[in-house]
Structure 1
Amino acid sequence: MATLFFDLDGTLIDSAVGITRCAAHAFERLGEPVPDDATLRSWIGPPLRVSFAPLLKDDARVEQAVEHYRERYETHGWAEHTIYDGIAEAIEALYAAGHRLAVVTAKNEPHARKIIASLPFGHRFVDVIGATLDGRLSHKPELIAEALDRLGADARDCTMIGDRRMDMEGAVHHAMRGIGVLWGFGSEEELRKAGADIVVARPSGLAEVAA
């Protein structure tokens, strides 16, 4: 059976509240204007440093912002999420079908592991691969490479499942199949332009296309 890599934010959980509140907290701590909600929501998916850099335009300020973001995320933000309807059932069905499941996310790995451990289906994932705290690993192609290495997997036998273009671009980079999902933060147009092989509208559709 296939090895399935799941994105976290926008794929397994709706984490918009936690992410946007922590980003706003970082700007407030720096004495900077807080971007509007639409701008902050667009940050769900990319690495934090990539999102902060164009607005702060200074590497030292970006690092300060990341630290301020993390301080609130550690205490509050990690738990400010909801599980998408149907995801628990989809994960259980995929597990029962014999697929190997793992999480590959641009969220830093300690926080990602904390979230996955709190989910009722978190034990179905064999590993959680996330960004390093220093940013050395933060982009999807690098994270997928790390996942392939850790699991000893062949990209030809793997599928990346996610809601943003970064997930699909990571899949394309490794010549693996990419499944885009529409219940998260990316549009069908974004996903298809980024190279999604398949786009599904509901979690229940994953079992049909993941074989």
Structure 2
Amino acid sequence: MNDQIVISFDLDFTLIDNTEGILNSFKYAFQSYKLKPIDDAILEKTIGEPLQEVFCRFTNIEPNLLIAAFRDYYRKKGIYQVKLYDGVIHVLSTLKENDFILGIVTSKKRELAVKLTKYLKIFPFFDFIQGESETIKYKTDPLLKEFFHTPFPPQNYNYIIVGDHVTDRNLAEMLNCPFIGVLTGHQSNSTLKNGTLSYVEILSHISDLGVKIIKNVIKSSKRKKVKN
């Protein structure tokens, strides 16, 4: 019997607006190697993707060099150029009060994600924070299945992934669980919803998320699995 619910959130454009810090980190990386700057509007659409993929798309320079420069700026300055979306504290407080297990899976380095959540005073809400590490490199890394299944075996727990990007939805697909997409990123409703077997619920903003929606998503997802 699946009784407990594990809700895993993305960070950027889901819980936080870190646009300024990320764009400035990109600018610093490009300037460090005297590369032509990329338009902010183009770079914004890449937020949430693995840095290696982004830098390979725009340059021929060894991506690890640019990633190191990016992270150097972000660690020192960019991490503080951030703000929580309105309503985040209320949402997390309400879910925690209702005994949901809350976590984060992000493409950021884990230590940066921990530092950021502590800076924003939301760290105590989360039971786990997983980011890029020596063993886990991206959101659909097969090792993430083990990361979820070991402490939260699927026969006893329901999972929900919440995020703004297709990579978050792909994580939901890998875990065979529902996905709640928020439209505060750069992905459209149709992009987040179409072409997946997972049950998908779309919200305009994270502040729309509540206990009733979570429970309805679990029920609807189970009905969809029965039909399939």
Q: Normalized against structure 2, the TM-score is what? A: 0.84
Residues 108 and 149 of structure 1: CA distance in aligned 2, closer, same or farther (over 3 Å): farther
1:31-75 Cα offsets, whole Å, 9 max, x none, are 1111101111012111111111122234xx211000000110111
The answer to whether 1:30 aligns with 2:29 is: no
Give yes or no for contact 2:86–2:207 (8 Å, CA) kept in 1: no
How far apart in 2 are the matches of 1:62 and 1:146? 29
SS at match of 1:141: coil
Deviation at 1:149, TM superposition (A): 4.5
How far apart in 2 are the matches of 1:85 and 1:113? 20
Computing the radius of gyration over CA atoms, which structure comes out larger, 1 or 2? 2
Amino acid at match of 1:95: K
Deviation at 1:118, TM superposition (A): 1.7
Amino acid at match of 2:180: I
Deviation at 1:150, TM superposition (A): 5.8
SS at match of 2:114: helix
Residues 112 and 146 of structure 1: CA distance in aligned 2, closer, same or farther (over 3 Å): farther
1:167-188 Cα offsets, whole Å, 9 max, x none, are 0011112211111011233221
2:202 aligned partner: 199
Give yes or no for contact 1:90–1:206 (8 Å, CA) kept in 2: yes
Give yes or no for contact 2:106–2:113 (8 Å, CA) kept in 1: yes
SS at match of 1:104: strand
1:129 aligned partner: 130
Give yes or no for contact 2:107–2:131 (8 Å, CA) kept in 1: yes
Aligned CA RMSD, in angstroms, stands at 1.8
Instruction: Map 1:38-187 onto structure 2 (within 5 A).
Output: 38-58=41-61, 61-132=62-133, 136-142=135-141, 144-145=144-145, 147-149=147-149, 151-154=151-154, 157-187=158-188
Give yes or no for contact 1:14–1:184 (8 Å, CA) kept in 2: no
How far apart in 2 are the matches of 1:194 and 1:110? 33
1:19 aligned partner: 22
Residues 176 and 16 of structure 1: CA distance in aligned 2, closer, same or farther (over 3 Å): same
Amino acid at match of 1:11: T
1:122-142 Cα offsets, whole Å, 9 max, x none, are 20101110012x5x5232112
How far apart in 2 are the matches of 1:49 and 1:153? 32
Amino acid at match of 1:68: A
Residues 94 and 23 of structure 1: CA distance in aligned 2, closer, same or farther (over 3 Å): same
Which range moves more in the overlay, 173-182 or 196-205?
A: 196-205
Residues 62 and 162 of structure 1: CA distance in aligned 2, closer, same or farther (over 3 Å): same
1:141-173 Cα offsets, whole Å, 9 max, x none, are 127425405633428610100001110011112
Deviation at 1:77, TM superposition (A): 0.7
Deviation at 1:194, TM superposition (A): 5.5
SS at match of 1:73: helix
1:87-106 Cα offsets, whole Å, 9 max, x none, are 11111111111100000001
Which range moves more in the overlay, 8-17 or 149-158?
A: 149-158
Instruction: Count residues in correspondence.
Output: 207
Give yes or no for contact 1:161–1:167 (8 Å, CA) kept in 2: yes
Deviation at 1:16, TM superposition (A): 0.7
| Percent pairwise identity | 26
